[in-house]
Amino acid sequence: MAAATDAVISARLVLDGGGTSTDVGLFDGESVIRRTQLPSYKPALSSANTDLLCRDLGSWMASASLLPPHYTPTFVLVGMAGVWTAHEKQSYLNALTDSWITYVSADVPRMVVLSDVELAHLAAFGSQSGTVLIAGTGSIAVHRSSDGQWQRVGGWGPRIDDAGGGFWMGREALTAVARMVDGRGPDTLLIRPVAAYLRTNAEDIDHVALRLRRASVDGAARLARAVLTYADEGDAVAQEIRSSAVRELVKLVSGLPASSRVALYGSLFGNAPFASAVKAEIRQVSVTILEDVLQGAIAALPTP
pLDDT tens string 9-61: 678 899 999 888 899 998 876 677 888 999 999 999 889 999 999 999 999 98
Q: Which domain holds residue 226?
A: 128-290
Do 117 and 247 lie in one domain? The reply is: no
Q: Which is more confidently placed, 285 or 259? A: 259
Task: Establish if 302 belongs to a structural domain.
Answer: no
Do 120 and 141 lie in one domain? The reply is: no
Last residue of a domain, one of 125, 146, 163: 125
HSE-up (13 A, CA, CB side) for residue 188: 32
8 Å CB contact between 117 and 140: yes
Last residue of a domain, one of 125, 156, 187: 125
In this predicted structure, what is the pLDDT of residue 30? 63
Rg (CA), the chain: 21
Task: Establish if 14 belongs to a structural domain.
Answer: yes
In this predicted structure, what is the pLDDT of residue 4? 41
Do 166 and 194 lie in one domain? The reply is: yes
CA 26, 32, 38: angle at the middle one, nearest 5? 45
Mean pLDDT on 214-242: 93
Task: Establish if 46 belongs to a structural domain.
Answer: yes
**What confidence tens digit (pLDDT) does each residue in 132-184 have?**
999 988 999 999 999 989 999 999 988 889 999 999 999 999 999 999 999 99
How does DSSP classify residue 4?
Answer: G
Peptide bond just before 158 cis, omega within 30 deg? no
Mean pLDDT of the chain: 89
Do 177 and 274 lie in one domain? The reply is: yes
Do 56 and 190 lie in one domain? The reply is: no
| Residues forming a β-bridge with 35 | 25
In this predicted structure, what is the pLDDT of residue 285? 64
In this predicted structure, what is the pLDDT of residue 117? 92
Do 246 and 170 lie in one domain? The reply is: yes
| Residues forming a β-bridge with 25 | 14, 35
103-106 long-range contacts (CB < 8 A, ≥24 apart) are: 103/51, 103/54, 103/55, 103/57, 103/58, 104/54, 104/57, 104/58, 104/61, 105/58, 105/67, 105/68
End-to-end Cα spacing for the chain:
26
Mean pLDDT on 81-93: 94
Which CATH number characterizes residue 23's domain?
Answer: 3.30.420.40
Do 100 and 63 lie in one domain? The reply is: yes
SS3 for 59? helix
Q: Which is more confidently placed, 96 or 4? A: 96
Mean pLDDT on 273-286: 88
Burial pattern 255-272, b for ≥16 Cβ within 10 A else e, equals ebeebebbbbbbbbbebe
SS3 for 27? strand
Mean pLDDT on 259-282: 94
Do 165 and 41 lie in one domain? The reply is: no
Do 141 and 260 lie in one domain? The reply is: yes
**What confidence tens digit (pLDDT) does each residue in 106-136 have?**
999 999 999 999 999 999 999 899 999 999 8
Do 54 and 145 lie in one domain? The reply is: no
Task: Establish if 297 belongs to a structural domain.
Answer: no
Confidence (pTM): 0.85
Do 102 and 244 lie in one domain? The reply is: no
Task: Establish if 161 belongs to a structural domain.
Answer: yes
List Cα–Cα distances, 209 to 77, 182, 246, 297, in angstroms.
46, 8, 29, 46
Mean pLDDT on 215-243: 93
8 Å CB contact between 288 and 58: no
**What confidence tens digit (pLDDT) does each residue in 288-298 have?**
999 889 888 88
Task: Establish if 182 belongs to a structural domain.
Answer: yes
Domain count, the chain: 2
Burial of 293 (0-12, 13-18, 19+ CB in 10 A): buried
List Cα–Cα distances, 133 to 29, 149, 158, 227, in angstroms.
28, 17, 16, 20
List Cα–Cα distances, 38 to 25, 60, 110, in angstroms.
11, 9, 22
Mean pLDDT on 269-287: 90
In this predicted structure, what is the pLDDT of residue 219? 84
Task: Establish if 255 belongs to a structural domain.
Answer: yes
Last residue of a domain, one of 125, 150, 172: 125
Split at pLDDT 50, 70, 90, the class of 3 is: very low
Do 135 and 119 lie in one domain? The reply is: no
CA of residue 295 relative to chain centroid, distance: 15
In this predicted structure, what is the pLDDT of residue 116? 92
Task: Establish if 211 belongs to a structural domain.
Answer: yes
